[in-house]
Structure 1
Amino acid sequence: MNAADPVAAYLSMLEHERRLSAHTLRGYTHELDELKKLANGRALETLAASDMRGAVSRAHAGGLTARSIAHRLSAWRAFYRWLAERVEMAANPVATVRAPKGAKTLPKALSVDDANTLMEAPHANTTEALRDHAILELFYSSGLRLSELVSLDIFEIKTKDHESVSWLDLPNTEVNVFGKGGKRRKVPVGRKAIDALRAWMDVRGEFVKLDPYALFLSVRGNRMSPNVVRDRVKRMALLAGIPSNVHPHVLRHSFATHVLQSSGDLRAVQELLGHASITATQVYTSLDFQHLARVYDSAHPRAKKRD
């Protein structure tokens, strides 16, 4: 371990041993920079729970959301668990510190009708439009995270210059993704999405310049960035007349909600989404109950409101 900078050693471990994504690493780096600011030159192992509670109070007073504070404490807690195995410490100073409670917000999901409107919206027959339609269909068909979708290769590649992290498996109609927390999973791809992907693959060669392996390419021939994909999804939703703010995570939420409504199988949805814990998936049961409540209110004779 780098005794002079344990944070740098920890981040190196996350990158090379746990193989966290660049996006996740940036998050850890930011939160651990905040920890170093809190220490203000003191050795990190000398910080106490009172220091952590003070940091939480100041962050909350400064307008940081409860969810962001919880994320920060989670990063700090994991770091101290790692550090405790390498230096002598009285206790993990974050172990008993909790974030303030925040308002519980449910993920936003499209209705089935709006999802169908978006998927079936007419589009041009250009290379760019075929690519964008394939992106939409794959998001909704398989519930991928944005980082997972942009990491996809056209198929599994292992060469001295490149090894696929995630890839499309067209023959088996599935994607193999390396997801959050280093968890790998296979997710089926529906027929409509497969049709859209085949249409894109037929013309993808027109964009191949700099990156021959990426599934989704920009007009310049680079692997599409998360920001570009996010902008394209939003633009397509506006063109389709969807009033809500549609972004990739809305499509992931829509996928999970609609599968749960149809199947009622929470464990299957957990596996498809790549959640490490069923707790993260259970939020969709609240969405499903909202849907059932609306059906009840509109259908049950004793529930209908009088005019």
Structure 2
Amino acid sequence: MAEGLRRYLQHLEIERGLAANTVASYRRDLGRYLAFLTDRRGVRAPGEAVTEDVQEFLRHLSRPRAEGGRGLSARSAARAVVAVRGMHRFWTLEGIAAADPAEAVAPPRPGQRLPKALPVQTVSRILEAPDRQTPAGLRDAALLEFLYSTGARISEAIGVDRDDLSASTPPGQQHATGVVRLFGKGGRERIVPVGSYAREAVSAYLVRSRPLLAAHGRGTPALFLNARGGRLTRQGAWLVLKKAAERAQITQEVSPHTLRHSFATHLLEGGADIRVVQELLGHASLTTTQIYTKVTADTLREVFLSAHPRAV
């Protein structure tokens, strides 16, 4: 079955053009599935799996850890089942297996999870938290300003090279505007504006910090570098955000997507067209972006209930 998995992952990467991080998630979920089939169901070949095997795997994913299961949320279990269904469908189409045992197995339907955005004042505290007198602090400030200014995913931000940034002065305007080229899910490319605060922070980092960090490495086109002079990792970028939130004494929950969620919510609260926000976020579907309108409506409702004298 390992060969069947290898062929499917190759199909995802080469023929469907999925991003490396997405393929890695598929590899992890499907590796656990094949281990489950082998160790708990006695399945040794792709053609031996039956629908009951797939259904039992789904139950195993949702079963609490105390009872020997994985204890996954409905959302995580659904992601794994989607991967399993895709692999079995591929095996059937490629003649690796005669039948598709996962065709009738529907993934669990997760409840709608609203993105958590921070108030503008709280975001400002996070952005101002790094010590801009040190090389690492300048890098951290540039990264955080960049994330909030562009709405980029952390994986997109760390993938930016210096050449992906550009600045120009539009006709009739005195001030330069910046843009950056981002590569999102599935390798989709989009051009996003970069605000003045982020441009200034990145400029200070490029002049006063990046050369010092780069001296420890072997040379890389990456914009954001780690202490060894290499490209900053996702884990490293997440630690930058987490450390800034702790330094700013933020009590709200902070996640790798916090600044992205705040970016979208603040744009909509400021009157931005939802389709423009969709383009800026790189969402393939408008439905994905519309979830932020629910967040904005909830915020307005809370303000109304707390501030209007005859609301309750």
TM-score range, shorter chain: 0.7 to 0.9
In structure 2, what is the Cα distance between the partners aligned to 1:49 and 1:278? Answer: 34
The SS at the match of 1:5 is helix
How far off its partner does 1:38 sit?
4.2
How far off its partner does 1:151 sit?
0.9
2:166 corresponds in structure 1 to 169
1:14 corresponds in structure 2 to 12
How far off its partner does 1:257 sit?
1.1
2:299 corresponds in structure 1 to 291
Q: Is the 8 A contact 1:36 1:44 kept in 2?
A: no
2:148 corresponds in structure 1 to 140
The SS at the match of 1:185 is strand
Structure 1 residue identity aligned to 2:121: D
- Out of 154, 157, 160, the position equivalent to 2:162 is 154
My pick for the range that moved more, 259-268 or 59-68, is 259-268
The 5 A counterparts of 1:27-66 are 27-40=25-38, 41-61=43-63, 62=69, 63-66=71-74
Structure 1 residue 111 and structure 2 residue 111: aligned?
no
1:202 corresponds in structure 2 to 207
Q: Is the 8 A contact 1:49 1:94 kept in 2?
A: yes
In structure 1, what is the Cα distance between the partners aligned to 2:136 and 2:37? Answer: 50
The 5 A counterparts of 1:195-274 are 195-203=200-208, 204-208=210-214, 209-274=217-282
How far off its partner does 1:230 sit?
0.9
Q: Please give the per-residue CA displacement for 1:169-213, whole angstroms capped at 9, x wherever unaligned.
A: 344612212211232222211111111111111122121132331
Aligned length: 291
In structure 1, what is the Cα distance between the partners aligned to 2:153 and 2:83? Answer: 21
In structure 2, what is the Cα distance between the partners aligned to 1:275 and 1:81? Answer: 26
Q: Which runs of 5+ in 2 are unaligned?
A: 64-68, 169-176
In structure 1, what is the Cα distance between the partners aligned to 2:8 and 2:223? Answer: 32
Q: Aligned-residue CA RMSD in angstroms?
A: 2.4
Structure 1 residue 67 and structure 2 residue 75: aligned?
yes
Identity of aligned residues (%): 40
Q: Is the 8 A contact 2:117 2:261 kept in 1?
A: yes
In structure 1, what is the Cα distance between the partners aligned to 2:123 and 2:103? Answer: 42
In structure 2, what is the Cα distance between the partners aligned to 1:199 and 1:253? Answer: 26
The SS at the match of 2:270 is helix
My pick for the range that moved more, 73-82 or 55-64, is 73-82
Structure 2 residue identity aligned to 1:178: F
In structure 2, what is the Cα distance between the partners aligned to 1:279 and 1:104? Answer: 12
The SS at the match of 2:190 is strand
Q: Please give the per-residue CA displacement for 1:201-259, whole angstroms capped at 9, x wherever unaligned.
A: 11221211323311011121111111111111111122223222434311111111111
Structure 1 residue identity aligned to 2:206: M
In structure 2, what is the Cα distance between the partners aligned to 1:210 and 1:18? Answer: 33
In structure 2, what is the Cα distance between the partners aligned to 1:260 and 1:46? Answer: 51
Say if 1:76 and 1:276 are closer, same or farther in 2 by CA, change over 3 A.
Answer: farther
How far off its partner does 1:262 sit?
1.5
How far off its partner does 1:17 sit?
4.1
Give the TM-score normalised by structure 1: 0.85
The SS at the match of 1:188 is strand
Structure 1 residue 183 and structure 2 residue 185: aligned?
no
Q: Is the 8 A contact 2:220 2:231 kept in 1?
A: no
In structure 2, what is the Cα distance between the partners aligned to 1:29 and 1:105? Answer: 25
The SS at the match of 1:177 is strand
The SS at the match of 2:9 is helix
In structure 2, what is the Cα distance between the partners aligned to 1:67 and 1:4? Answer: 26
Give the TM-score normalised by structure 2: 0.84
Structure 1 residue 278 and structure 2 residue 275: aligned?
no
Q: Please give the per-residue CA displacement for 1:240-287, whole angstroms capped at 9, x wherever unaligned.
A: 232224343111111111112222522222221112222322221221
Structure 2 residue identity aligned to 1:278: L
Structure 2 residue identity aligned to 1:25: V
My pick for the range that moved more, 285-294 or 94-103, is 94-103
In structure 2, what is the Cα distance between the partners aligned to 1:121 and 1:42? Answer: 54
